[in-house]
Amino acid sequence: MVVEIEEAIVSLREDGIVHVHFKKYVEITVELQGRMYDIYNEICGNGHKPFLFTADEFFSITKEARDNAIIMEGLYPGSASAVLATSLAYKLVANFYLIVNKPKSPYKVFNNEEDAVEWLKTYL
């Protein structure tokens, strides 16, 4: 299953991992979070699945969306989240979220997809 919107592509991979890819110049807002959560729930059904997050250049998240992510965490159908940070900017955003917001579900930042996928498979 693949759902594509203007800002992102969300797909359920054959290995059971949900891949969320944010397109170039996307800024995550509270409004976009709400739409993304609806897509996540559509793809996951009633279950929980591990999520792999990737992004093109110039990805960002508003402070309101960072704060809202913690509030919405109980609704998130992810069993674990791996962020593939291929640029310094994306790595800073991902690590900032980890340090400041302290997500309750397993969350880890990776430099390569193979390591991220292997880690996520332990949460299938």
pLDDT at 89: 74
What is the model's pTM?
0.92
CA torsion through residues 63, 7, 72, 88, sign: negative
Work out how many domains the chain is built from and give that number.
1
Give me the domain span that covers residue 99.
2-121
| pLDDT: which is higher, 101 or 104 | 104
Q: What is the dihedral of CA 18, 42, 23, 30, to 10 degrees?
A: -120
Q: What is the CATH number of the domain that holds 97?
A: 3.30.750.24
User: Token match 């302290």: residue?
Assistant: 102
- Burial letters 66-82, b for 16+ CB under 10 A, else e: bebbeeeeeebbbbbbb
Is 1 a residue whose pLDDT tops 90? yes
Residue 53 amino acid letter: F
